[in-house]
Amino acid sequence: MTKKTHDLKRIRTTPLDAVIIGTGAYMPERILTNDELSTMVATSNEWIESRTGIRERRIASPEQASSDLGAEAARRALANARVQADEIDMIVVATITPDMGLPNTGCLIQQKIGAHNAFCFDIEAACSGFVYALEIASQFISNGTVKTALVLGAEKISCITDWKDRSLCVLFGDGAGAAVVQARPAGTGGVIHTIMRSDGRLGDLLMLPGGGSRHPASHDTVSHGLHYMKMDGREVFKHAVTCMTSVAKDVLTACGLKVEDLKLIIPHQANMRIVKAIGDRLGGKPEQYFVNLDKYGNTSAASVIVALDEASRKNHLKKGDLVLLVAFGGGFTWCASIVEWCHG
C-alpha cells in the first residue's frame, strides 16, 4: 500500500439540509393601476382583471435597477434571518433584467450590502429563476461547500416591456425577493426535493430577442423593438398549466406526499386563470394556494419568493409546514420544490 503523503481534509462530508432562515421583499413604491394603464393602451380594468386577476403592479423609478431592488430585499431578508452581510458565502440572483451585461447583479448586490465574503453570480431561467437558484444554493449547502447563501429573484421587467403592446404590458411588474438559506444538520428540513425541467424547442414562444450576441443592440434592433419581450400568450398559457401541474405532481410523488399534506402551494404569480387551472388539475383547497398577483402582476423571477415572503410575514407558515413552490417561464423552464418550513 502506498503511504499517504498528504492529510486531505474532506470538505464534502455528510449531506446537510439547506434551510430557509429568513426572507425579505422589496416592491417599488409606484403603483400602476389597471385604470391608469387604460389611459396608456386600449384596454380596461375589466379586461385585465377578468383575464388575469391583476389589479395593479409596481414600477421601479428610472434611478432604480434590479440590483437596487434586490439589495433592499436582501437587507430585509438578512434582518429577518438575524444574519450579518459578512456571514454570506454565496449570492445567487435569478433575473432576466440584470443591471448590465457585467458585472453580474450578484456582485452589484454584494457591493451594496457589504457581503464581501461571498462569491456571486446570476442565473437566467426566466420566471422559474428563483426556484432554480434555491436548488443551486441548496446543492452547495448540502455538500458542505457553502454555509450561508443569499438567494434572490430581482426584476425590473418594466424596462423590457413594450408599453404600446397591450397584450403584454398589462401582465408584468417590478420587484425583488430574497431568502437566506443556511446549512443545518440532516433531518432538520428546508429544501426537501426539487425537480427542474426545460424544453428549448419551445423557446420561440417567449423571447427577448435583442441586445444579446444574436442581435447586438443597434439602431435597427431598437427601431424594430427587439429589446422588448415577445410572447404567444395563448400557447404560453397552455404550456404553463400543463408543465406546472405535471412537475408539481412529480415532486409530490417523489416525496411520497399528497396535496392534502401541503400547508401552502406557492405558484408562479403569472395569472389567476393559470393558478385556477393548476388547482383544478392538482387538487387541494383554494386556501392552500397563495396568491398576491392581484397587487404585483407577474414579477418573473421575483414572483415566488415575493409571495413566499408575504405568506411567511402574514403567519401563514409555521415550523414543520410543507410548502410546494412551482414555477414556469421562458426557455421554456419549469420546476417544483418541496420545502419544509423551519423558520419562526
Is residue 329 at the binding interface for ligand ACO, with CB under 6 A as the rule?
yes
DSSP category for residue 339: E
Residue 78 CA to residue 76 CA, distance in Å, equals 5
* Active site (annotated) includes residue 298: yes
Q: Which stretch binds ligand ACO (CB under 6 A): 89-97, 113-121, 229-237, 309-317?
A: 229-237
Is residue 162 at the binding interface for ligand ACO, with CB under 6 A as the rule?
no
Contact 305, 20 (CB under 8 A): no
Residue 129 CA to residue 132 CA, distance in Å, equals 5
Is residue 206 at the binding interface for ligand ACO, with CB under 6 A as the rule?
yes
282 CB-side CA count, 13 A: 37
Q: What are phi and psi of 76, to 5 degrees?
A: -70, -40
Residue 196 CA to residue 94 CA, distance in Å, equals 14
Is residue 138 at the binding interface for ligand ACO, with CB under 6 A as the rule?
no
Where in 249-308 is the site for ligand ACO (CB under 6 A)?
Answer: 268, 270-271, 298
Q: Cα–Cα–Cα angle for 54, 56, 60, nearest 5°?
A: 125
User: Nearest Cα to 315, choosing from 275, 343, 286?
Assistant: 343
Q: Which stretch binds ligand ACO (CB under 6 A): 72-80, 155-163, 226-234, 283-291?
A: 226-234
Provide the minimum distance between the beta carbon of 262 and ligand ACO in the complex, in angstroms, as a whole number. Answer: 21
Give burial (CB, 10 Å; 0-12/13-18/19+) of 215.
Answer: middle
- Per the structure block, which three cell numbers stand in for 240? 404553463
Among 25, 74, 127, 137, binds ligand ACO (CB under 6 A): 127
Provide the minimum distance between the beta carbon of 34 and ligand ACO in the complex, in angstroms, as a whole number. Answer: 9
Where in 5-24 is the site for ligand ACO (CB under 6 A)?
Answer: none
* Active site (annotated) includes residue 127: yes
Give 66 or 269: the residue with its C-beta nearer to ligand ACO: 269
Is residue 170 at the binding interface for ligand ACO, with CB under 6 A as the rule?
yes
| Count of residues in contact with ligand ACO, rule CB under 6 A | 23
Task: With H, G, I as helix, E, B as strand and everything else as coil, classify residue 78.
Answer: helix
Catalytic positions: 127, 268, 298
Which spans of this chain sit near ligand ACO (rule: CB under 6 A)?
43, 47-48, 51-52, 127, 166-167, 170-171, 206, 231, 233-234, 236-237, 240, 268, 270-271, 298, 328-329
